[in-house]
Amino acid sequence: MSKLISAETTMKGNTQPRGRMVAYWSVTILLAAAITLSGIGQLMQLGGNVELVTKLGYPLYVMTILGIWKVLGAVALVVPGLPRLKEWAHAGIFFLLTGAALSHAFANDYGDYGFNFILPLAYAALNICSWALQPSKSRLS
């Protein structure tokens, strides 16, 4: 009986709780999907992206740069392993999203009900949740 309890305790100590893994993958997939769709929209210059970028005062080539980095960052989040790359992707996404919110704030382009300011910050919070929930094997020590 004691061997069974010992084995069960050992297994529990080495595995991530199921609820935490479900939460991690739910948040991470949602974040990766949002970042990917945004990046593709910028690369293809769809849905008001051109007006948005010019309204903020950035040159149009910025959309290509941001679109490529967004897609690559989203891929890095969902690929298994590569903990250092995931850390860089989370950091890059955080800076990208907080920079977007600040760009809108500095340009006085808050949108309806502050949407242009709040949405990037909401995705930045989702990014923080994804980073905090990631399994210990995916973290840098």
As given in the structure block, the two tokens for residue 42 are: 């910028």
pLDDT for 67: 96
Contact 133, 24 (CB under 8 A): yes
pLDDT for 141: 61
Number of C-alpha atoms within 13 angstroms, CB side, residue 114?
7
What is the pLDDT averaged over residues 36-47? 94
CA nearest to 124, candidates 31, 26, 24, 22: 31
pLDDT for 138: 66
Contact 130, 73 (CB under 8 A): no
